[in-house]
């Protein structure tokens, strides 16, 4: 069962409570370069990204938020470290949320100023702990992470601020799980999940899915981000694949395809690649099965909205549980594509 967290509004997106688990990513451009940043955000919006974070290392980046905000549709989080002036400026320039650790700000008057402005504008603040930010590795990592977050919350609460989201991240899957379980027991603020610095694509997909997946299945987590040393669009695609596979969200194409074996007599891998390439940006939920032979093929293909079961240099196309045609391998993809396009149109019209 989903943990009962408070609802927090980030621009037009609500998180926490029973709201859908939101998908986040972070731009990898120089925020000061408005056109590159906006173009990366637009690509992420098309892929389904619901909240975007940008780094704000200096004044120019904080100023750029104003122009970026005019040209994007999703809420923007300003990621700030140490400098309270950048937090104030980012809020004034339209940031929908701030990522900031108040314990990094020595002058407590600044914290009060930020809290006052954020309250006035209904801008939440995400506080967090990241193992990488400890100068020395603590003896008890979980305790140190949880107490750090509780301390950040206390500083904001003392400044009369309660519109908070929390996150605890480490690059270790088990630590991330243990620390989030612990913090989820003692606070009711929404939790942003991620395995941080999770590495290149293949490694991160596995580590992040293991860490985030376990927590989501325990009802913990209100927004997620895959951290991947690769294009940010991969983060969004991975996040949706996880949420779909846990039946927490529905979006776009879900491909059921077999690994193939000695029974397969069609080029199944290229069919799968072509479906992914041509239909990867579809928004309506569609389950597609691409199966190599008659052993499991017809069963899976019938269970999907549409599917192929391979035969001898040919394939049978199924739609909504019924065989609609048998096609030679040469024409298999073009015929399948036509049927899939028709199906997507039908689904879009009825949604
Ligand atoms: S569906 Fe057929 S080709 Fe694919 S793995 Fe199973 S037995 Fe092999």
Question: What does the pLDDT look like over 293-351, one tens digit per residue?
Answer: 877 766 777 779 999 999 998 999 998 878 899 999 999 999 999 999 999 999 898 87
Ligand 1 contacts CB of residue 59 (under 6 A): no
Calpha distance 329→322 (Å, rounded) = 19
This model's pTM is above 0.95: no
Ligand 1 contacts CB of residue 201 (under 6 A): no
Note the pLDDT tens digit of each residue in 93-147: 999 999 998 888 888 899 999 999 999 999 999 999 887 777 788 889 999 999 9
The token pair at 168 is: 């605890």
Average pLDDT over residues 78-88: 94
Q: Does 173 score more than 70 pLDDT?
A: yes
pLDDT at 116: 97
- Alpha carbon 38 to its chain centroid, in Å, reads 18
Calpha distance 274→100 (Å, rounded) = 43
Q: Which long-range contacts (CB under 8 A, 24 or more apart) does 289-294 make?
A: 289/255, 289/256, 289/257, 289/318, 290/255, 290/256, 290/257, 290/258, 291/256, 291/257, 291/258, 292/258, 292/260, 292/261, 292/263, 292/264, 292/265, 292/266, 292/268, 293/263, 293/264, 293/265
Whole-Å CA distances, 46 to 73, 274, 307, 317? 10, 19, 25, 29
Q: Which of 255, 259, 260, 304 to mutate to test the pocket of ligand 1 (most atoms within 8 A of CB)?
A: 260
Q: Which of 238, 245, 306 lies closest to 48, judged by CA?
A: 238
253-350 domain in CATH 3.30.413.10?
Answer: yes
Q: Does 223 score more than 80 pLDDT?
A: yes
For the chain, helix (H) and strand (E) counts, in that order, are: 11, 15
pLDDT at 297: 67
Within 10 angstroms of residue 41's Cβ, the number of other Cβ atoms is 23
pLDDT at 130: 83
Within 10 angstroms of residue 142's Cβ, the number of other Cβ atoms is 20
How many Å lie between the centroid of ligand 1 and the Cα of residue 262? 8
CATH number of 8-245: 3.20.20.20
**Which helix (H) or strand (E) segment is 97 a member of?**
strand 97-99
Average pLDDT over residues 59-76: 98
Ligand 1 contacts CB of residue 308 (under 6 A): no
Ligand 1 contacts CB of residue 260 (under 6 A): yes
Q: Which residues pair with 9 in a beta bridge?
A: 14
Q: Which of 262, 289, 292 to mutate to test the pocket of ligand 1 (most atoms within 8 A of CB)?
A: 292
Domain ranges of the chain: 8-245, 253-350
Calpha distance 241→260 (Å, rounded) = 21
Ligand 1 contacts CB of residue 297 (under 6 A): yes
Q: Which of 258, 259, 314, 316 to mutate to test the pocket of ligand 1 (most atoms within 8 A of CB)?
A: 258
How many Å lie between the centroid of ligand 1 and the Cα of residue 200? 30
How many Å lie between the centroid of ligand 1 and the Cα of residue 258? 6
Q: Does 4 score more than 80 pLDDT?
A: yes
Calpha distance 251→241 (Å, rounded) = 9
The token pair at 206 is: 């596995």
HSE on the CB side for 282, CA within 13 Å? 25
Whole-Å CA distances, 85 to 56, 97, 198? 11, 15, 31
253-350 and 8-245 share a CATH fold: no
Ligand 1 contacts CB of residue 294 (under 6 A): no
pLDDT at 113: 95
């Amino acid at each position: 069962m989903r943990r009962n967290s408070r609802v927090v509004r980030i621009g037009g997106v609500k998180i926490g409570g029973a709201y859908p688990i939101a998908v986040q990513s972070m731009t990898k451009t120089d925020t000061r370069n408005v056109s590159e940043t906006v173009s990366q955000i637009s690509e992420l919006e098309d892929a389904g990204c619901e909240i975007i974070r940008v780094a704000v290392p200096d004044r120019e980046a904080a100023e750029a938020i104003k122009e970026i905000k005019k040209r994007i549709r999703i809420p923007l989080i300003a990621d700030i470290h140490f400098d309270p002036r950048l937090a104030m400026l980012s809020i004034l320039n339209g940031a929908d949320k701030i990522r900031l650790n108040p314990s990094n700000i020595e002058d407590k008057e600044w914290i009060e100023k930020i809290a006052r402005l954020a309250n006035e504008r209904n801008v939440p603040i995400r506080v967090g702990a990241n193992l990488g930010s400890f100068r020395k590795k603590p003896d008890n990592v979980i305790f140190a992470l949880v107490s750090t977050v509780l301390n950040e919350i206390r500083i904001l609460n003392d400044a009369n601020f309660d519109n908070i989201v929390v996150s605890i991240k480490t690059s270790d899957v088990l630590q991330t799980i243990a620390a989030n379980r612990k913090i989820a027991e003692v606070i009711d603020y929404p939790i942003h999940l991620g395995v941080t610095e999770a590495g290149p694509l293949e490694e991160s997909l596995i580590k992040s899915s293991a860490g985030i997946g376990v927590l989501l299945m325990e009802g913990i987590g209100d927004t997620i981000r895959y951290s991947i040393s690769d294009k940010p669009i991969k983060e969004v695609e991975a996040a949706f694949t996880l949420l779909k596979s846990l039946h927490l969200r529905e979006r776009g194409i879900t491909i059921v395809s077999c690994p193939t074996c000695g029974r397969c007599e069609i080029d199944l891998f290229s069919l799968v690649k072509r479906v992914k390439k041509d239909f990867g940006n579809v928004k309506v939920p569609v389950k597609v099965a691409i199966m190599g032979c008659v052993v499991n093929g017809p069963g899976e293909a019938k269970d999907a909205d549409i599917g192929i079961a391979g035969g001898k240099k040919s394939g049978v196309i199924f739609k909504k549980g019924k065989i609609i045609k048998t096609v030679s391998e040469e024409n298999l993809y073009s015929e399948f594509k036509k049927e899939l396009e028709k199906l997507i149109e039908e689904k879009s019209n009825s949604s």
